[in-house]
Amino acid sequence: MTAPIAKTFHGNFTQQEAIPEDAIEAAVAVMQGGRLHRYNVASSDEVSQTAALEIEFAKYQNQQYCLACASGGYALQLAMRSFGLAQGEPVLTNGFTLSPVPGAIEAVGGRSVLVECTADLVLDLDHLEQQIEHSGARLLLLSHMRGHLVDMDDLCSRLKKHNVALIEDCAHTMGASFNGRKSGSHGLMACFSTQTYKHINSGEGGLLTSDDDEVMARAIVLSGSYMLYERHAAAPAAHVFEAIKLQTPNCSGRMDNLRAAILRPQLARLDEAGKRWNERYDAFAEGLKTAGNSIVLPKRHMAAYEVPSSIQFSIHRYSDEQNLEFLDTCVKRGVELKWFGADEPKAYTSRYDSWQYLEASSLPNTDSILKRLYDCRLPLTFSVDDCRLIGEVIAEVDAHL
Ligand SMILES: *Cc1c(COP(=O)(O)O)cnc(C)c1O
C-alpha cells in the first residue's frame, strides 16, 4: 500500500487584492490635477478627496465626525491627546495586541496598564475592573485584537460605573458590528488603519471618528490643519475650533488626496468584502474540523458580526516539541502560521513581555493562552476552496502528531 499523498498548499499569505480599476482612475485624476494636498482645492466649493472620504466614512460608521490621517498608530496618538491624557497617566489596554498599541501610548507619554485576555481572545472584563481599581486610570484603549468583539454592552456599563472613557482601536474590526451597532461607535473615539494588511488598502493611512465636538476639533487641529479646519466637512462647527485652536499644537500627520482617492471605492465595497472574508473563514474552519476536536476556535459572542481577515485557533494538547514540529510541518506544506508564544518576537507577533519599554507585568492567563495559539492570515486573493484546503492541511498535520 502506498502512503496517501500529503495535502499541500501553494499560495502567498501576504498577497492582497489589486487596487480596483475605478480607484486607480481616481488616483490618476488626482495626479493629473496636481492637487495632492488635502487643503489644495481649485475653488472654495471643491470638496477634496480626503474631505469626501471623511464624509463617507463618518456616514458608514454612523458617527458625526471623521478625520483621515497618516496611519492607524497616529490616529491612536491623536485620540489620546485629544482626550487630554496627561504625561505619565495610566492607560488601560490589552495584554494581547500588536505593538503599535503600546507604542502609541508610549508616544503620548502615557503608561500602559495591561489587561488579561480570555480564551476567546477578548478583554477579560473582570481583570479590567481590577486594573481600573488598582491604577485609577481614566481611559481604556481597547484593541479589538484579531477582530474579536468583547460583549460591548457589558464593557460599556462597567466603564460607566467606573467613569472610564473608551477609545476603540478598530484596526481589525472595520465593517464589524455588535448588536447591529458598528464597531467603533461605542466609545468617545475610534481609530482605524488603512495600511495594506487591514480591510481597505492605501499603503498607509488612518481614520478617526467621534461624536464629540471638542475632542474632534482638537484632533483636527493636532493633525496639522493649520487654520484651514473649515475645509473639513465631517467636522464640528467653527465656533468649537475658536475655543481650542490657540491651545492646540499642530503635529502634522495628514492624509493626502491620493490615498483618499484609492480608499473611497474600496469603502464602497467593504461590506461585500466582509461577506467574502466570512466565507473564507467558514471554509477554513470546516477544513480544520476534519481533524476531530483537538483544534479549538475562539467562540464569537452571539451579538457580534465580525470581519475576519485572519483566523486563530488553539491546540492545547501539544508538548513543546509537538508545537514546534506542528509549525515546522505546516510551513513545509505551504501553510504559514504565526505563533504568539515564541520568546523572541518575530515580525508582527511580539508578545507583551517583549515591550521592555513598559513597566513589567505578569499576565498568567494570557501567557497560557498564547502558548498554544496559532494565527493565519486570510487574504482575499485566496479562494474559498483555498481556505478549506489550508484548514485540511492543518488538520492532517495535527492528525499525525
Ligand atoms: C495595524 C494596527 C494598528 C496601527 O496601524 P498602522 O496603520 O500600521 O499604524 C493599530 N492596532 C492594531 C491592533 C493593528 O494591528
- CATH 3.40.640.10 for domain 21-268, yes or no, is yes
Shortest-distance Cα residue to atom 1 of ligand 1: 171
- The rounded Å distance from CA 79 to ligand 1 centre is 14
Q: Using a 6 Å cutoff on CB, does residue 171 contact ligand 1? A: yes
pLDDT digits (tens, 9 = 90+) for 338-360: 998 887 877 777 789 989 999 99
- Written as nine digits, the cell of 358 is 513598559
Homologous superfamily assigned to 270-399:
Aspartate Aminotransferase, domain 1 (3.90.1150.10)
What is the atom index within ligand 1 of the atom nearest the CA of 144?
A: 13
pLDDT at 240: 97
> Where are the domain boundaries for CATH 3.90.1150.10 in the chain?
270-399
Shortest-distance Cα residue to atom 6 of ligand 1: 72
φ, ψ dihedrals at 44, nearest 5°: -65, -15
- The pTM of the full predicted model, rounded to 2 decimals, is 0.97
pLDDT at 256: 98
What is the atom index within ligand 1 of the atom nearest the CA of 204?
A: 7
> Where are the domain boundaries for CATH 3.40.640.10 in the chain?
21-268
Q: Using a 6 Å cutoff on CB, does residue 310 contact ligand 1? A: no
Residues 84, 212: contact at Cβ < 8 Å? no
Given pLDDT bands bounded at 50, 70 and 90, which one contains residue 1? low
What is the atom index within ligand 1 of the atom nearest the CA of 198?
A: 1
Query: What's the average model confidence in pLDDT over 193-209?
Result: 98
- Written as nine digits, the cell of 272 is 461585500
Chain-wide mean pLDDT for the chain? 96
pLDDT at 322: 96
Of 99, 91, 102, 151, residue with least CA distance to 122? 151
Q: To test ligand 1's pocket by mutation, which of 144, 169, 189, 194 has the most ligand atoms within 8 angstroms of CB?
A: 169
Q: Using a 6 Å cutoff on CB, does residue 263 contact ligand 1? A: no
What is the atom index within ligand 1 of the atom nearest the CA of 76?
A: 10
Q: Which residues contact 135 (CB under 8 A, 6 or more apart)?
A: 90, 92, 113
pLDDT at 385: 98
DSSP 186: S
pLDDT at 211: 98
Q: Using a 6 Å cutoff on CB, does residue 100 contact ligand 1? A: yes
Q: Look at residue 394 and tell me whether its pLDDT is greater than 90.
A: yes
Q: In this predicted structure, which of 1-10, 124-133, 244-253 has the lowest mean pLDDT?
A: 1-10
pLDDT digits (tens, 9 = 90+) for 289-341: 987 778 999 999 999 999 999 999 999 999 999 999 999 999 999 999 999 88
DSSP 362: -
pLDDT at 4: 65
Query: What's the average model confidence in pLDDT over 178-204?
Result: 98
Q: Look at residue 115 and tell me whether its pLDDT is greater than 70.
A: yes
Cα dihedral 131, 89, 164, 107, rounded to 10, equals -100
Q: Using a 6 Å cutoff on CB, does residue 195 contact ligand 1? A: yes
Q: Look at residue 21 and tell me whether its pLDDT is greater than 60.
A: yes
Given pLDDT bands bounded at 50, 70 and 90, which one contains residue 6? confident
Given pLDDT bands bounded at 50, 70 and 90, which one contains residue 126? very high
**Could you tell me whether strands 338-339 and 373-377 are parallel, antiparallel, or unpaired per DSSP bridges?**
antiparallel
pLDDT digits (tens, 9 = 90+) for 41-57: 999 899 999 999 999 99
